[in-house]
Structures are given as C-alpha cells and as structure tokens.
Structure 1
Amino acid sequence: MIRKRTFLGASLLLGLGGLGGLPATLADAAQPKPAKPGKALGGRGEILWDTYGVPHVYGKDVAAVFYGFGWAQAQNHGDIVVHLYGESRARAAEYWGEAFADSDRWLIANDVPARALAWYRASSPQFRRNLDAFAEGINAYAKANPGKIDPKIAVVLPVSGVDVMAHSHRLMNYIYVAPMERTMTGGNPGSNNGSNAWAVAPSKSKSGHTMLLANPHLPWPTSFFTYFEADLNGPGFQMYGATQVGLPVLRFCFNDRMGFTNTVNSMLGATNYELKLSGDGYLFDGKVLPFKTRTASFKIKQADGSLRSETLTLRESVHGPVFSRADGKTLALRVAGLDRPGSLEQYWDMGRSKSFAEFETILKRLQVPTFNIVYADKEGHIQYMDNGILPKHRQGDLAYWRGNVPGDTSATLWTDVHSYEELPKVIDPPTGWVQNTNDPPWVATYPQVIHYQDYPPYVAPVGPESLRSQQSAHLLADDKKLSFDDFVAHKLSTHTLMADRVLPDLITAADGDPDPEVKAAVALLKAWDRETVADSRAALLFETWAARFSPNNFTSLANYKVKWQASAPITTPSGIADPSAAVAMLKAAIAEMKTKYGAIDRPFGEVSRFAIDKVDLPGNGGFGNTGIFRTITWGPLKTGKRIPVHGETWVSMVEFSTPIKAVGLMSYGNASQPGSPHRSDQLQHLSDKTLRTLWTKRAQVEQHLEGRVAF
C-alpha cells in the first residue's frame, strides 16, 4: 500500500549542494562493502579487557585501533550501537515498525542519510579508512559471536563507515543542536542534559601539577546518550577516556600530557523560522515565494511483517526544510554547520595534540557544533571555551532566538557564523582555575574575567547562575590550594547549597509553631549537616519542602527574599521572602512525606537506590538545582523506592604529575548487553562515594586482566 503524506521539508545544505534530491536510501545503497572480518587487519592488534569491562586497545596502526574500538563497542553495547545505526539510516520504521516512523521522517526531511554520505566522502582518506575500520570491527564481532546481538537488531548488519558518520551527524546536529521536539512541539528536550568540568592550574595546586575533572551528566536509560569507557593505543598516541556509544572517537579524553572534557552549553546553532503562508507559497520581504518541493519515500514494517511504503512531499524555503506542526504553525529550520563535516576528525586530532598551541589551532577549525570545552595539560595551561558554531545575528537575545523567529523578512535570516576569536573563553586565568556546569560562561572563573556586556546578547543569557554552578565555583574558589585528595573530595561533595541559603530563615520562621509535627521537623532540620547521603534523616524532608519553595525543578526564584543578582553571581539568591508561606509549605511537605515515605525522617538511602539488575544499594547525591555538585536526578517513586534517571555517569579525575594520577567511575557500568557482569559492577563505588584507579599503563592492565582478543 502506498500512502502519500505532506510532511516536513527539504534540505539546507551549506556548501554541499547537489544532494537535495537524493533518495533516502542512497546512503545505504552507496556504502562501501565491508571487508571480510580479519582479512585486512589480521595480526594488527589486540584488546585487553580489564576486570571492569574496560577495553584497552593496542593497534599497530591507526586503522587497527579503530577496528579494535569498534569490536569493543559491539561486545559491550552491540544492541544499542547497531540499533542507533539503523535509526540513523532513516530506516528504523522499516526494521522495527511504526514507533520509529516520525524519526525516519525527521531525518529524511533534514537529508541526514544523504548528507552523511557527502560528509563521509569529504573526510580525509585516512579518516575514511578509520571510519571503515571501526565499522568493520563491529561487523567482525557480530560474525564471530552469532546471537550475541539481538536478531531483531542484527537485521541492520553489516554496517559501514557511512553509518558511523550518519550516527554522529544525527547525534550532534539533530539531537543536540536541532532536536525534533524543539521544532515540532516547541519543547526543550535537552533540559535534563548536563555536566561538570574543572581545570586547575599549577598555581592553584598543592603539588604544582595541573588537574582536570571530566564529569558528564546524562540520562541513565540506555540510548544515544550512553557512555563507554576505553583506552586507545597506537603509533605515537595513547588516549584514555569515554565517548557516547556509536562514536568512533573519545569525546572525553586524557593521556600523560593533556586532557579535555565537554559540557552542554546554551549555544543556539539552529533557528526555527515561523512562516506566513500565502496561497501555495510563503511571504518573504513583501513577496510571495514558492516552496521548492521534492518527494521521498520510506518503508514501515506492519504488525504482520509486511512493509508499507509512505511517500513524503517535502518543502523547502530560503531558510531550510519546512515543517507543518500540529498546532497549525509552519516552521522552517536552519541549522548552522551543515557545511562542516569534520567534528569526529577534530575530536580525534584534539586527543593527539602535542601542545596547547596545537590544540588551540585544532579548536579554531570550529567543526564541533556545540559543547563547552575545558582543557588542561602538563605544561600548566588550562582553558575554558564556550565552543560551537554560532550564527551571527543583527538583533535579539538568546530568548528571542530560542523561540519562533519571524521568517517573512531577510532581516532575521543569518548567513554567517562567529569565529573562534569571537567566542567567550578563558585561558590561563590568574585565579588558577576554570569550571563549567552548563551555565552561562561568565563565571567560568571567579572573580570574573569575561563579561556578558562584552558579547552579543544572543551568545548566552546573563543568568541566573544555577546553585550547582555556584557550588562548583565555591568548591574551587574557597580553598587557597588543592591537593589531589582535596580535588577528589570536592568532586564527591553532596552538600546542599540551597539549604545554606534558606534553611536558617525556615528554622527561624517555624521554631515557634505549636504543631508537634512541625516541632519534630524543625528539630530534624536543625540537626542536619546539609549532606545528601544515605543515612541522612532530613535530606528527603528538605528536598520535599524545597520542591514547593522553588518549583519547576528547583529553579523558580519567586520565593527567595534576595533574587539572583549579576553583581553577586555566586552568593545569590538567598533568604525567604514570606516566612509564613514557607512554614505552610513545610506543613504540606510533612504531610507528603508521611504519605509517600511513611515518616518524615526516612533515611535518604532507604528510598533512593542505586539499582541495576540484581544490585540494589543505598543512594546519595541529589538534584543539581538544589546546589548539589554530585548530581543525581531521582525518578518517580515506585514500590517504595526511586532510582536515578539522570546524573552521574562518567567521571575521570587526573593530576598531570609524573606518573599521572587518574581515578574515575562509570556509574552504571561499562556494558549494557544482557548478561554482562559489567552492567552494575561499579554501583558499589557510587554508593560508597569512592572512585576506582584508572589503569592507563599496560603493566597495570595485565595485573587486572579479564580477557584478551587478538585481531
């Protein structure tokens, strides 16, 4: 059955013209044929698996390292990786049914499969070989281990270098920069994304050595956000770190000399233009312009296993692809950086840089479309950069460009992007440290060295700085010099900054209340050390009250006495504006605690659990917006307990001494395949608030060896 449907739009290809009319299946049809496993790479390397399921890949050449990395990802995360590649082909509905049809339509309308092929071809010959080798490693693992990848998912195999590029393109440009939900519903799907990052210079370090923290926070359920830890070794390079599954390069990386990490930033690399329709066209500068149109088709698997074909009529305006929303609005999407295919290669080169000067030269390519980048090296350099491909605008602030922008005038149509030199950054500040927790760049160090008024207002909001960001700054600014042990202890902090700001006022307001339940609650809160740890009997009560005092995920400032102030960015907000209302909120919180938890003094770790498979341990850490640096976003209460839905994922902490010190954790384990012992084997560290030594040297790995794979 053929069903014709008007949907979405054609493509915006900046500098890669000629692909707009390609069928959605072209990228799949034109993929290079994978070589027979082992034929091209026999005897070229090996994977040493340590007892935490971390692959240490050793290759005689670069392509061999990529091959081993692909094999390792298939072994630990094969079901996710192969599924993601099927999605990025825009054939997920063909493989798995109607639930994936909207995703396929979105990717087809944005030309992701065709552009991925173009980007693959635009890569350097060596990097194309690397992409192919990574894909070949996945295929080789699947062939050598039949049945290890779910047969329903294995229909995607074999995969190729084009699939690797397509997945990266989709993740970077159409999950992070221009997610479907933002255009089609006006939602903010990235609101739970986050990370912490620190770099400390020798002047701030007791040992005189630079230190670096990498600490992304993303959802825990397996998806394109899932992290994978690995150690990659080849001729002239060694890289240890983590990346998101399916990516062939490390996005969080360190070695004996340097390291870098990423945090999600607020940079807007995409614009939704609201069009005014007129007849069969749209208004632009007082004229009616026709849409460019084309058709594309894809298949949808039916319940009986048959395939239904659907044809899409796609439209394009001068802005980009056009989308019809359920609310009647017609939007055109314009995405920056679609002429910049080199984000994977830039990450790869960043990890192999030999000096800060070389690293900065690589950053200046601006191929990575978003993310703050924090850097540190053995020579003592540190850097924070509000990185991304940012359009230049003639008007408007961030809120204006985050909304639906008028699309009927060329005055709003951007055509250029900012250079590296024009983006906010901090290099080797006199404070001796930089930090970011996804907040605006202005408090990357403190006292401030970059200022909102020196940049266009659409670069980032003036504020407010979140309480997590403020706690991050305090943890670094409040000590004169940090030892590595201090550095680690600060990272593991579960102190609740929001309690410091409002709890004294709440206790004062409630202290004289005659209600015996309020008296018990006040006594509990008075005795609380403001730590969100397993045995705390007041942390749940404060959290429950705080959710009422500061609704919208603890972000509302309405009930604070002193609102956030740009002139005091890490000491405001504070106090309680209406003490009697706050006491009423406490009484409501007491009632809620008794209903949900059975008592007002339930130990935090009895309710909040680190639980995967058969492992079920007491939890600690909490919502970042309450000012807890050790961020855990707890899900809804089910059968008397709650588990993380987001927060602490990958952690690495490095001191660039000789030899380096490196500790870390992959909170939910380094594997997701059913039956793997590494799905939950790091939860004990998470529960104990400890980190594990990262084995960066082969001799260390050999002492903790679980398995070996030669290729």
Structure 2
Amino acid sequence: MKLAVFALLLASATPALADEVLWDRYGVPHIHADSEAGAFKGFGWAQAASHGNILLRMYGESRARAAEYWGADYAALDRYLIAHDAPERSKAWYKAQTPQMRANLDGFAAGINAYLAAHPDHVPAELKRVLPITGVDVMAHAHRLMQFLYVAPMGRMLTPPADFKPTGIGDANNGDGGDGDAGGSNGWAVAPQRTSDGAAMLLANPHLPWAPSLLTYYEAQITAPGYSVYGATQVGLPVLRFAFNNNLGFTNTVNNMLGATRFALEEAPGGYRLDGKVMAYRRVTRSLLIRQSDGSLKRESFIQRHSVHGPVFDVDGKPIAVRIAGLDRPGVLQAYLDMGKAQDFAGFEAALKRVQIPSFNIVYADRAGHVFHISNGILPRHKTGGTHAFWAGIVPGNRSDLISTEIEPYESLPKALDPPGGFVQNANDTPWVNSLPRVIDPRDYPAYVAPLAPTSLRAQMSARLLAGSDKLSFAEFQRRKLTTTSLMAERMKPALLAAVASNPDPDIAAARDLLTGWDNRFEPDSRAAILFEEWATRFAGPDLNDQANYERRWTLDDPVNTPSGIRDNAVATAMLKAAAQAVMARHGRLDPRYGDVSRFSAGESITFPGHGGAGGLGLFRTISWWPWKDGSRTPQAGETWVNLIQFTTPMKAIATMSYGNSSQPGSPHRSDQLEALSEKRFRQLWLTRADVELNLEKREAY
C-alpha cells in the first residue's frame, strides 16, 4: 500500500462529495476534499461545530484583543502579547507562508466562518464579536500557543526573581524530574524486533487539562489529494500534531528545552547598562481597548520599553527583559503538515531538520521498522556555555556575551534512531533515558540542552514497561499502557512494612495490615491506594519529587531503580500514622474504594469510577486529580487522547478521547467516552470509508 492508501480505501464505498464531512457516532469528523485548501476548510468547519465556544474565545485572545471583546480580566494577556509584537509578527508570518499554505490558512478560517454563518445560534453573541476569522488569526493562534504558552508563558516569564543575584554562570543543575504541573504526556515507539507481529507500534498519550481551553484535543481524519492522515491536535490549530498515516506516525510530549531567556537589567540614568556602557531603551507607545461594564470601550495606552534583549517588563519592581529564540522561524504549521504527509523517515526528518517547531519531544515509528525520539526545539546557542539551571533562572543583562543570536542546529539536538533496546520512550523526562540500555550521554551535549535531573518515577515506569527482550503483541502493548501499578509502591512498600512490622500503635497496625494485602494498583476496587497516596505525599512532598527521605538518591548510573530505601524509619512511620488519620478524617474509614472517591467526570453530573493517578507515584496511567471536595475528586488533567497503532496490514489502530470530542454545551459527545475510559476499553478507529459509513451519525457538505 502506497501514498494514497487511506484515500483509496475510503473511495471503495459510496463516492464522496467534493467537500464533505462524515461524522461518526463518537463525533469524530472524517473530512474529504478535492484540494488541500478544501480539506483545511473542512477542518475549520468541523472545529467550529465541535468546539465553537472555546475556538472563538482563544482566537480573540490570540489577536491580543480579548479585553476589547470581554473586559479587563483579559487586559494583562493582551498587554503581554502586544509587548512582544505578536499581532504584527503574526501578519508577517502569514505573509511568509507559501501560497499554498496561505490558501490553507484562509480555507481553515473560511470553514469556521461558514459553519457559524450556517448555524447562527451555535455560539453566544459575545463570542461573535471575534468574527470573521482570517488566515492571519489562525497563524496568530499558532504563534500564541507555541511561543507564548509553551516557550515563554506570561506566568513563568513574569514571576518575581526571588533573591536573584547576578553573579555569573551558575553550576547547579535544575531539575527535580517531577510531575508537579499538569501530568505531562507519554510517548512510546517499539521496533519490529520487539513485537510478535514483526511490525512497529506507537503510543500517543498526551495528558493536558480536561477543562475546555486552548489545550483541548480534537480527533479527526483528513483526506485530500496527497494528504491522508488520522490523529488529534489542539483546538484552533489547522494541522494534526499527533498523527499517523499508512506508513508512519508521530506523537509529542512537552520537554524542558529553554527557548526563552529572562535577563535582569542593570538600570542606569538614561537607560540600562551593557558592557559598561549606558544604553537607552527603545520606547514604543502601545494601546489596547478595554470593554467596560456598561459595554463601552476605553482605550488604554502604555509605553513599552525594549532593550537589545527584547521587551522589558517590571517584575517585582525590577526591569526584566524577555528574549525568545526563533521569532524569525514562522514554519511550525508547515512542519507538522509535512510530517503528516511524509511517507518515510527521510521525508519526516526533512521537515524536522528545518528546525521550525519551537519545543517538544517527538516520538516516531514507521512501517519500515524505524523508531525515533528527539528532544526537539528552537534552542539558543550560548557561546558562554552555562548550565540548564543558569539559563532557566534570571540571567545578568549587563553582558552582551550572554545574548544568544544563533540556535542549535538539528544535528546538535539529543536524539536516538533505532536503539539496540528496540524502543524509545518519553514521559516528559530529560532525553538521557529514552531507551534501555541508554544510548545518549549527557557529556556529549552542552549542559544547557537539558538538566542532569532525576528521571521521574513515571518515566522510570515507562522505560521499565518496555525494557527487556520479550516480543510484545498488540494486546500486550495495550495491557502495559493500561497498567495502574505504582512503581513507588512496588519499590517502597516493602521497606515501609519492614519499618512498621512490630509497631503496636493501632493506627499504624491497621495501615500496615491494609497495605500488606494490597497489590500496588490504583484500580477502582483498590482499598489501600488512597492510604498509600497520603503517605507518599508526606514522604516525597506534595509534588512527589522530594528525595530527602530516601536512603539512596537518584543516579544516572542506575536511573530506573533509584531513588530507593527509607533514610529514617521513625520518620516514615510517623508519616504513615498521619496519613492514616488523614484518610479516616476525610472519608470516615481507612479503606475507601478508590473508584468511589476518585471519579471520572467531564464537567457534567455523570461520573464513572476512576483509576490511575499521579505520575509522581510511578503511575503510567496518569491522572492529576483536583483537590478533595466533600470526600471525592475528579480529573484536572491526565489521559486525554490515547492512541495505539501498529503498522500491520491492515493497520491496527485504537483510541479514546477521554472527555469526548466536543466541548459545545449540549453536545452528546462531551462525555460519551467516559464509560469506556473507566472500563479500560478503546475504540477501534474507522479508517476506511466503508467502516465510517457503517458508523455514521450524519454527513455534511461544507
């Protein structure tokens, strides 16, 4: 089967209209078009149908006009984007696209506009202020998402520099290796030598927040001449970022690459000091409109200062300049499009080699049997060296030799192709343990590329699930993905039970007996999982990445078996007593069923028993829960788009979209996959037109 295999299979049944969306019974759009721009239009139509509310909200934000549309709560974000010249750059980036890509972006925008014109009651009036959408808006949103959320988010860039002292290049490494943010993502690729069918397998498994936002995932299939791809992307993007075609597939996980640098400026009369000279700020008057409570618009003007580093912000009363690498590289959407069009590793790598994607680990597998991982990004090349921790902090702004003007080329980024272990994996960890045996040595790269940080327990579990020489069936691949065993429990429970073996305290004795009979899994019927989680957050801290209480700390020489042991048995014992009391106080019993108090919900009243949990517990089935409320909790982030494929003939492809494929109020597809999630069931993906027709909800011409 060659380039157009999906399209040929789809054409084998009822002929398609020239431009048509087939909606399957899970609300997944299967888009067919007779041109590339027509396919983009269909994708815009579909996104407006499934996510119109959040789509228009995020486009208004990415225009840097959200305060004009919806009030002062959005003014800070508008100012941040305006300070970085994002609106002007978005126009320039749009003009820099090829004629075909400009037509694609215009088509995507036209699809959004056409759907909302045909369905005038689909979104509330306040969101219609953003209409019409243009191709520039599509580019502006991609720019905002990539550069100003992933690379240089306002919250991180404008955090007060606590006790910062500009003393020079630092030596300490940064990393805690933990899971303290939104749960991260997982990615696996397994080579044919490790599979029973002799065909490569791929897992795509992002973990971003469940609440509807610009991080919400959307599943789709797109078929046009020369382009036939299935996968998911974040709402608002016109290309699939997690995708496969008949010959290859790829996924992303967030990495720790530092594409932005913060500089502490040394103020001087008339400006700031650089290399002993006083430099004048470049000052530009900017303005924004802010909608008032009575609906009127008030213009606010401000003076934006720029140093040679970049725009300057007052942070805790101190001038901080932000410099973002790659603002001259407008090709991120083209790169993802070309990756999805590629039919072999050479074509796929050619898109990556342009170094247009600002961040992300990328994990890849193909029909030819290649597996690949790269810690990818647009990384400043620092001629002064320095560690990851130094560049992640506040850098002295009075030295021009610290201002990077080049980026690291593709060849300098950590990567592995077809390692001897027969797999690559990433779970937001540094690249040093992307396979076992290890194939990447940190000493071969500048220290600022990635920290020599502890491999998180989730990443350790990821590597351990694939390590070895056994051959995996697709069913076993699926089973390992779904495991809820806690690596921390497997590693630490024996030592904890030994520490409390003869303790007569009734609370400790009851906890000991409960843990003794537990199989270390976080399943709906698990009775000891909540107790162990309570103990773990005391032993390893709220983010589960503090190693102070371990007897043996993490080491790269033994990266998937450390940290281990208990440093102080008395301390661990006291923590178990406190954990037992906390569980009793919250739930009225020591052994609540995990699925009774941890419930899968997509923001509606319907809930199902939950399983999985925090990656810091060494759980590969990752769910980050909201804080307890009335003795129960629901997901904040975690398992979202979960897709497993194998390059057999025919291809094996299954998936779930945990919170459903639509966020529109009243949609039946907001929570229609929660039960399958709870029961660990995947959907068979319908790749052929015949299968889609058998599972058709409706068809639309656009």
Q: TM-score range by the shorter chain?
A: over 0.9
Distance 1:552 1:406, change over 3 A: farther
Shift of 1:639: 2.6
Unaligned runs of 5+ in 2: 1-15, 162-174
Amino acid of the structure 2 residue aligned with 1:614: S
CA distance in 1, matches of 2:609, 2:676: 11
1:175 is matched with which residue?
A: 149
Q: Report SS of the residue matched to 2:272.
A: strand
Shift of 1:306: 1.1
CA distance in 1, matches of 2:411, 2:230: 29
The question of 1:409 aligning with 2:399 is answered yes
Amino acid of the structure 2 residue aligned with 1:57: I
- Residue 675 of structure 2 is aligned with which of 678, 684, 689? 684
2:338 is matched with which residue?
A: 349
1:107 is matched with which residue?
A: 81
Q: Is the 8 A contact 2:36 2:227 kept in 1?
A: no
Shift of 1:355: 1.4
- Residue 288 of structure 1 is aligned with which of 270, 274, 278? 278
- Residue 120 of structure 1 is aligned with which of 73, 94, 111? 94
The question of 1:306 aligning with 2:280 is answered no
The list of structure 1 runs, each at least 4 consecutive aligned residues, that deviate by more than 2 angstroms after superposition, is 186-193
Q: Is the 8 A contact 1:468 1:627 kept in 2?
A: yes
Q: Is the 8 A contact 2:183 2:623 kept in 1?
A: no
CA distance in 2, matches of 1:598, 1:283: 62
Amino acid of the structure 2 residue aligned with 1:134: F
2:139 is matched with which residue?
A: 165
Shift of 1:190: 8.9
- Residue 502 of structure 2 is aligned with which of 512, 530, 537? 512
CA distance in 2, matches of 1:190, 1:53: 33
Distance 1:240 1:539, change over 3 A: same
Sequence identity percentage: 55
CA distance in 2, matches of 1:55, 1:648: 21
1:330 is matched with which residue?
A: 319
Q: Which stretch shows the higher mean deviation, 261-270 or 149-158? A: 149-158
CA distance in 1, matches of 2:683, 2:485: 22
2:130 is matched with which residue?
A: 156
CA distance in 2, matches of 1:338, 1:570: 38
Normalised TM-score (structure 2)? 0.94
Cα distance per residue 1:194-242 (max 9 Å; x no partner)? 1100001111111100000000011111111100000001113211000
Shift of 1:191: 3.0
Q: Is the 8 A contact 2:183 2:615 kept in 1?
A: no
Shift of 1:479: 5.3
1:237 is matched with which residue?
A: 227
The question of 1:418 aligning with 2:387 is answered no
CA distance in 1, matches of 2:487, 2:636: 22
The question of 1:384 aligning with 2:367 is answered no
Q: Is the 8 A contact 1:176 1:190 kept in 2?
A: no
Shift of 1:88: 0.8
2:660 is matched with which residue?
A: 669
Unaligned runs of 5+ in 1: 1-41
Q: Report SS of the residue matched to 1:677.
A: coil
Shift of 1:193: 5.3
The question of 1:623 aligning with 2:597 is answered no
Cα distance per residue 1:53-95 (max 9 Å; x no partner)? 0000000111111001000000000000111111111110010
Q: Is the 8 A contact 2:183 2:624 kept in 1?
A: no
Cα distance per residue 1:389-409 (max 9 Å; x no partner)? 111112211110000000001
Q: Report SS of the residue matched to 1:383.
A: strand
Q: Which stretch shows the higher mean deviation, 150-159 or 114-123? A: 150-159
Amino acid of the structure 1 residue aligned with 2:359: T
- Residue 644 of structure 1 is aligned with which of 625, 635, 643? 635
- Residue 147 of structure 1 is aligned with which of 108, 121, 128? 121
Q: Is the 8 A contact 1:398 1:461 kept in 2?
A: yes
Q: Report SS of the residue matched to 2:379.
A: coil
Q: Report SS of the residue matched to 1:222.
A: coil
Q: Report SS of the residue matched to 1:185.
A: coil
CA distance in 2, matches of 1:419, 1:53: 41
Q: Report SS of the residue matched to 2:381.
A: coil
Q: Is the 8 A contact 1:219 1:225 kept in 2?
A: yes
Normalised TM-score (structure 1)? 0.93
Amino acid of the structure 2 residue aligned with 1:395: G
1:257 is matched with which residue?
A: 247
Cα distance per residue 1:139-196 (max 9 Å; x no partner)? 0000000110121111111101000000000000010000111121159999325110
Q: Is the 8 A contact 2:389 2:448 kept in 1?
A: yes
CA distance in 1, matches of 2:203, 2:121: 39
1:136 is matched with which residue?
A: 110
Q: Report SS of the residue matched to 1:461.
A: coil
Distance 1:331 1:88, change over 3 A: same
**Alignment RMSD (CA, Å):** 1.3
Q: Is the 8 A contact 1:494 1:620 kept in 2?
A: yes
The question of 1:702 aligning with 2:676 is answered no
2:360 is matched with which residue?
A: 371
The question of 1:558 aligning with 2:544 is answered no
Amino acid of the structure 2 residue aligned with 1:573: P
Amino acid of the structure 1 residue aligned with 2:181: S
CA distance in 2, matches of 1:475, 1:190: 22
Amino acid of the structure 2 residue aligned with 1:49: W
